[in-house]
């Protein structure tokens, strides 16, 4: 998933190739996805909890200072657990990372975690 389709060219006296820039974009996308997989690394400020104690809303700040929003869906069966969430990134381009709803066993352990999506 490239952030931009780059073309070969020169920036100052540094030759830039599309391959090098697209590789950088792929690495950045992978890093952002890894951070979104654990939104606790990004949350800052007040956290809104549902009646069961699950975090359902908060502001986020990405390592480069870009802001966004975390929005979670608390589990109806296990207080304090989050079954699904989204994390947005308001920079250019805007991105939304979505963790679809997980499946839990009778003790609340996650037994199936669908892959995150990026839009």
Residue-wise pLDDT for 20-79, tens only, equals 655 666 777 888 889 999 999 999 999 999 999 999 999 999 998 999 999 999 999 999
- In the block, which residue shows the tokens 């990004």? 42
DSSP per-residue codes, the chain: --SS----EEETTEEE-HHHHHHHHHHHHHHHHHHHTSGGGTEEEEEEE-TTS-EEEEEEE-TTS-EEEEEEEE-SSSTT-EEEEEEEE-SSSPEEEEEPPPEE-TTS-EEE-PPPEE-
| Interval 79-96: pLDDT, tens | 999 999 999 999 877 899
Query: Which residues are within 8 A (CB) of 83 and not within 5 positions of it... i.e. 6 or more apart?
Result: 73, 74, 75, 101, 102, 104
What is the tens place of the pLDDT at every residue in 5-23? 655 565 555 566 666 655 6
What pTM, to 2 d.p., does this model score? 0.78
């Amino acid at each position: 998933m490239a952030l931009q389709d780059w073309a070969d060219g020169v920036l100052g006296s540094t030759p830039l190739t599309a391959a090098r820039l697209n590789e950088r974009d792929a690495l950045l996308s992978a890093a952002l996805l890894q951070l979104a997989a654990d939104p606790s690394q990004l949350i800052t400020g007040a956290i809104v909890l549902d009646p069961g104690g699950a975090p359902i809303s908060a502001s986020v700040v990405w390592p480069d200072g870009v802001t966004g929003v975390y929005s979670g869906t608390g589990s109806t069966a296990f207080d304090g657990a989050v079954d699904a969430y989204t994390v947005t990134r308001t920079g250019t381009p805007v991105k939304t990372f979505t963790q679809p709803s997980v499946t839990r066993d009778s003790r609340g352990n996650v037994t199936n975690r669908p892959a995150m999506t990026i839009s």
